[in-house]
Amino acid sequence: MTKPYSQMACYRKTKSKFVRKPMSNTPFKTLLLTSMVVCGSASAADCSDVAKVVAKKLQDSYVIEATATKLSQLLNSQDFLQRCRQQKSAESIADFMTTELNKIANDKHLSIYYDPQWVKELKEYRASDQDKAFADKRVLETPTDNYGFKQVEMLEGNIGYVDIRSFADSHLGGATLESAMKFLQHADGIIIDLRNNFGGSPFMINTLASYFFDLDTVHLSTFESRESGQLTQIQEWTSPFVPGPRFKDAPLYILTSKNSASAAEAFSYAMKNLGRATLVGEVTAGAGHGRNTDIVNDDYILSLPTTRGVDPRTNDSWEGKGVKPNIETPSDNALHVAYADVLKTLISKGSHNSKLHQWAYPLAKAKSSQYELNQDDITRLVGGYGERKVYQENGKLFYQHADDRPLEIELIDKETIVFKAFSSARLLAVYQNNKVVALKLLSADEDAQEFKRTL
């Protein structure tokens, strides 16, 4: 079984104490001092004691009540307890329970861990003022990440692009989002990149989504949570007000990867099911449940999913399945594919900037093809074209007109050639019988010029 923490089942013995291996997802990290490994021994009482406590916690607070009942029945069954007692160590008991529970739940957030040191640290942490201090520190550090906004750019063809790495709380990152939207306010289409977004605040989902609808509010999702057997539902809607421009008619594309998780999935899932966005990339992580970390006893910890987002149109969530994109492609090619598709969409609609879109589309389409160039493609291109020539030097390709300064060029595919220094012009290789017989100089503002091969 794959654990989200780094093999925390065993401890390493020092001269005076046991120290736990560092765990990346807890607030405390302990220095590793020696190499002797000591593991927890299994006790017959562990199975019944742990199963009883976990069954009660699941019955009271697991997010899906029907599943909670099944899980509780499993933990209380004699067959389960008998097989549990056959485990040889405390670690294997935790692994066994997690595996058996997930045969029913299939929930990536539902886990049981044997880790006495983690239990001790967690008790100390929750009894101290560090909890609040840690939260305050998070607020203070968030601006160093620009509240998750990594990059905002206008792409060729008047397409806006924004790379969001995390969703900050709206009261913290809202002003940064507003600035990004104002920068993109004249864009004909928008691409939101969530390929490296692991989640964050649900409040930013509503704020971001609101920019892509009109004044009428839209039901995005419903968040369900269970505590002490009571189910609470909170509906999330877009806002009738946003500071800055709206993009209610602009084509919206969202880039996803297998790393896109939690709040990034919630935003993508809602916008896809509303028909407001086209998702491009990979199926997302499938992390649809929010979890609490509950202490079972002095030795065991339960990762307990207590909340989930439910789409009002599908009455389902993305937990364990991920969000399936409209256009599936490897994540490293998702931007090129989305860029080409949004331009194609705008061209088909006959937008007022269609000339810009028609200029940018062939290049975007060529990049999305991921053509694998080889030396033969370059060899076919190298030669003279009247006063112009293409030559290779030190592994780089150049285009030169007469005695003008050589310009470095790059092949996107065997026909499409771009200038490294500017994008207002490019070259097109003309083939006949698998040989380059001419070059065309294409410009965004002028008619094409063709130069026959002379050498």
Q: Any idea what the CATH number is for the domain that residue 218 is in?
A: 3.90.226.10
In this structure, the answer to whether residues 105 and 199 fall within a common structural domain is: no
In this structure, the answer to whether residues 390 and 336 fall within a common structural domain is: no
DSSP 172-200: HHHHHHHHHHHHTTT-SEEEEE-TT---B
pLDDT for residue 142: 64
10 Å CB burial of residue 395 (0-12, 13-18, 19+) is: exposed
Q: Which of 7-16, 196-205, 362-371 has the weakest average pLDDT?
A: 7-16
pLDDT tens digits, one per residue of 429-439: 999 999 999 99
Angle at 409 between CA 407 and CA 412, to 5 degrees: 165
In this structure, the answer to whether residues 148 and 46 fall within a common structural domain is: no
Q: Which residues contact 127 (CB under 8 A, 6 or more apart)?
A: none
In this structure, the answer to whether residues 57 and 90 fall within a common structural domain is: yes
pLDDT tens digits, one per residue of 215-254: 999 999 999 999 999 999 999 999 999 999 999 999 999 9
Q: Which of 23-37, 174-188, 262-276, 298-312 has the weakest average pLDDT?
A: 23-37
Q: Which residue, 51, 80, 114, sits at the end of a domain?
A: 114
Domain count, the chain: 3
pLDDT for residue 139: 56
pLDDT for residue 264: 96
Q: Which residue, 114, 147, 171, sits at the end of a domain?
A: 114
pLDDT for residue 33: 31
In a domain, 145, yes or no: yes
Supply φ then ψ for residue 387, to 5 degrees: -80, 0
Task: State the angle between helix axes of 65-75 and 44-61 in degrees (0 to 180), rounded to the nearest 10.
Answer: 160
The enclosing H or E element of 279 equals strand 278-281
- Cβ(452)–Cβ(385) under 8 Å? yes
Return the SS3 of 390. Answer: strand
pLDDT for residue 154: 97
Task: List alpha helices for 36-129, DSSP H.
Answer: 44-61, 65-75, 78-84, 90-105, 116-127
In a domain, 367, yes or no: no
Do you know the residue count of the chain?
Answer: 455
In this structure, the answer to whether residues 436 and 313 fall within a common structural domain is: no
In this structure, the answer to whether residues 212 and 154 fall within a common structural domain is: yes
In a domain, 191, yes or no: yes
Greatest pairwise CA separation for the chain in angstroms: 89
Q: How confident is the model at residue 29 (pLDDT cuts 50, 70, 90)?
A: very low
Average pLDDT value for the chain? 88
Range of the domain at 93: 10-114
Q: What is the DSSP letter of 22?
A: P
pLDDT for residue 444: 87
In this structure, the answer to whether residues 187 and 295 fall within a common structural domain is: yes
Return the SS3 of 289. Answer: strand
Mean pLDDT value across residues 396-419: 96
Measured distance CA(4)–CA(113) in Å, rounded: 10
Measured distance CA(349)–CA(344) in Å, rounded: 9
pLDDT for residue 441: 97
In this structure, the answer to whether residues 218 and 292 fall within a common structural domain is: yes
In this structure, the answer to whether residues 295 and 215 fall within a common structural domain is: yes
